[in-house]
Amino acid sequence: MLNFRESKLPPSPFLLLRNQLNILENLNEPQIAAVTLPPQHALILAGAGSGKTRVLTTRIAWLISTGQVSPQTILGVTFTNKAAKEMLTRLSAMLPINAKGMWIGTFHGLCNRLLRAHYRDAGLPQLFHILDSADQLATVKRLLKSLNVDDEKFPPRELTWFINAQKEAGLRANAVEAWDNHTRKRVELYAAYEDQCQKEGVVDFAELLLRSYELLSRNEPLRRHYQERFRHILVDEFQDTNKLQYRWLKLLAGGGAALFCVGDDDQSIYAFRGADVGNMRDFEREFKVQNLIRLEQNYRSHGNILDAANAIIKNNPSRLGKNLWTEAGAGEPIRVHESYSDGDEARFIVEEVKALANDGHARAEIALLYRSNAQSRALEHALFNAGLPYRVYGGLRFFERAEIKHALAYLRLIANTNDDTAFARVVNFPTRGIGARSIEQLTDAARAANSSLYAAIPHVSGAGGGKLAAFATLIVKLREAAHLPLPELVEHVLDLSGLRTHYQNEKEGQERLANLDELVNAAAGFVAEEGTVGEEGELSADLIAFLAHASLEAGEHQAGEGDDALQLMTVHSAKGLEFNIVFICGLEEDLFPHENAKSEDQGLEEERRLMYVAVTRARQRLYLCHAQTRMLHGQIRYNPPSRFLDEIPADLLKYLTARAGKAGYAVQDSGSRAYGAVPPAPTFGSAPRPSGSSFRIGQSVTHAKFGLGIIVNAEGSGNDTRVQINFGSAGMKWLALSVAKLEAA
Q: Which of 657, 625, 8, 58 is nearest to 350 (CA)?
A: 625
Residues 702 and 708 sit within 8 Å (Cβ to Cβ): yes
Q: Which of 355, 268, 324 is nearest to 674 (CA)?
A: 355
Distance CA 69, CA 59 (A): 12
Q: Which of 204, 237, 352, 518 is catalytic?
A: 237
Distance CA 528, CA 525 (A): 5
Q: Which of 204, 236, 380, 403 is catalytic?
A: 236
Half-sphere exposure of 386 (CA within 13 A, CB side): 21
pTM: 0.76
Q: Which of 186, 412, 467, 617 is catalytic?
A: 617
Q: What is the pLDDT of residue 436?
A: 83
Distance CA 25, CA 482 (A): 70
Residues of the chain with pLDDT under 50: 1-17, 533-538, 556-557, 660-693
Distance CA 356, CA 581 (A): 9
- CB-based contacts of 272, cutoff 8 Å, min separation 6: none
Residues 160 and 134 sit within 8 Å (Cβ to Cβ): no
Q: What is the pLDDT of residue 560?
A: 57
- Vertex 478 angle, CA 414 and 448, to 5°: 55
- Vertex 397 angle, CA 624 and 82, to 5°: 80
Active site residue 53: yes
Neighbours of 404 (CB within 10 A): 22
Three-state SS sequence of 71-123: HHHEEEEECCHHHHHHHHHHHHHHCCCCHHHCEEEEHHHHHHHHHHHCHHHHC
Q: Reduce the DSSP state of residue 387 to 3 states and report it.
A: coil
pLDDT per position as a tens digit, 27-55: 999 999 999 999 999 999 999 999 988 99
Instruction: Please state the separation of Cα 385 from the chain's center in Å.
Output: 26
Q: Reduce the DSSP state of residue 206 to 3 states and report it.
A: helix
Distance CA 584, CA 569 (A): 10
Q: What are phi and psi of 629, to 5 degrees?
A: -130, 145
- CB-based contacts of 673, cutoff 8 Å, min separation 6: 355, 656
pLDDT per position as a tens digit, 217-271: 999 999 999 999 999 999 999 999 999 999 999 999 998 999 999 999 999 998 8
Active site residue 52: yes
Residues 346 and 379 sit within 8 Å (Cβ to Cβ): yes
Distance CA 500, CA 437 (A): 27
Q: Which of 18, 20, 36, 53 is catalytic?
A: 53
Q: Reduce the DSSP state of residue 513 to 3 states and report it.
A: helix
Active site residue 637: no
Q: Which of 31, 239, 267, 629 is catalytic?
A: 267
Active site residue 36: no
Half-sphere exposure of 146 (CA within 13 A, CB side): 10
- Walk across the sheet containing 258-263 and list its strands: 103-106, 74-78, 232-235, 258-263, 42-46, 291-295
Residues 444 and 457 sit within 8 Å (Cβ to Cβ): no
Active site residue 237: yes
Q: Which of 52, 59, 500, 608 is catalytic?
A: 52
Q: Reduce the DSSP state of residue 27 to 3 states and report it.
A: coil
- Pairing of the two strands 539-540 and 535-536: antiparallel
Residue-by-residue DSSP string for 215-273: HHHH-HHHHHHHHHH-SEEEESSGGG--HHHHHHHHHHGGGSPEEEEEE-GGG---GGG
Residues 507 and 161 sit within 8 Å (Cβ to Cβ): yes
- Pairing of the two strands 232-235 and 202-204: unpaired
Neighbours of 324 (CB within 10 A): 25
Active site residue 617: yes
Residue-by-residue DSSP string for 618-666: EEEEEEEEEEEEEEETTEEE-PPBPHHHHTS-GGGEEESSPPEETTEE-
Distance CA 93, CA 28 (A): 20
Q: Reduce the DSSP state of residue 35 to 3 states and report it.
A: helix
Distance CA 102, CA 231 (A): 13
